[in-house]
Structure 1
Amino acid sequence: MKLNSEQEKAIEEYVDAQGLKIQTLRDDIIDHLCCVVESELGKGKPFDQSFEQAILDLAPDGLLEIQNKTVFLLNSKRIIMMKKLTYLTGLLGAVALTAGVTFKLLHMAFATELFMLGFLLLLLVFIPLLAIDRYKVILSKTISVRLKFISGVAAAVITGLSAVFKIMHLQGADLLLLLGAFLFAFGFLPFYFFTMYKKSIA
């Protein structure tokens, strides 16, 4: 049994409301849903029930999950390499930072160099790479959640840089600290408490 124009429009509107960004995937999903629903209608089932079951069978976790998996498969090598680099720099940074602190306490050579290497690896490589990876997960979230994430990461990196400047006695440490504190207080915190409030009344 063929779908009428209103039923086809209902399927298209549902798919479009999910926020899919890959046009070819969007078209394929609509075609698939239309075919499945038409088949079920031919068995005498009502449209609403057939459509709901077709969506549940295709994407129990939502259509965006299909898009995420598609993007991962299309970019799997690059994504895996980025994840390896992220966690490798995190490991090396943490080891170097730990060694630097230990060497400092034992008054051994290269303590400051190891500490700074670890600190910079974590601050300038690991945290930004991890933030980029996590940001892809929250792209489908509200603008307040995304702004909270961006302002929080920026505040952390800038504040960390101010500590590096302070340790190395470089100019601009106080300015960076003020900027980091400003971003944290007037960027991250308002969005953080706003999202907490939204969750509490949901």
Structure 2
Amino acid sequence: MNMLTEAQIQYIRERVRQEGINRTDLEHDILDHLCCLIEAEMEGGGNFEDAFEKVFEDFAPTGGLKRIQVEVNYISLKKTIIMKKFAVIAESLVMILFFVTTLLQGIRLLNQYAWPFIAELAFVNQYAMCLFILPRYWLHHYRMAVRESGESMSLAITRFAFIIGFLCTESFVNAVFFKMMHMPGGDQLFIITAILGMIYVPFYCVRKYRVAV
């Protein structure tokens, strides 16, 4: 089988880029596909130039590669939108479950009534909140803060502050959970929450002030 040289592969890559392909993943896929087709075309004894022109014209007539990228981008966008919708629905369900569980726990503490499976439900909800909802929430707001702050605040400071804020909310949610479930460590977590909050709140106020002015 005729194998393409590095120079020939580079030539194909440049032609692909000239067609307006700027997605690296798509460029690699198209390049690999074109190389395979050209090598197969050269099996009959043809030279590289003729094989390339024939394959390129058949595979992507004028503007064809650009249309491929547009279609791929559209499909990727649809997938992203679907994933975001799914994430929002899942987060909403977890939040509703969190407040329902909290309400049932409050009623249990007031009336000394043991709801069936309330402990198991509370633990599942707690894991979902700490491992899914809060990390996603803070990551989203961190990205927004980076775009808003620009050069006014260093990226390292912003990252540090948001890590502190994330740990603060994790500590607070777990502190409340530990107290409601009569588990040890709730008081210590409240103290940690207060310390982390005193570190994060000044940063939050300064960032909001700079964005406002």
TM-score by length of 2: 0.47
> Larger Rg: 1 or 2?
2
TM-score by length of 1: 0.49
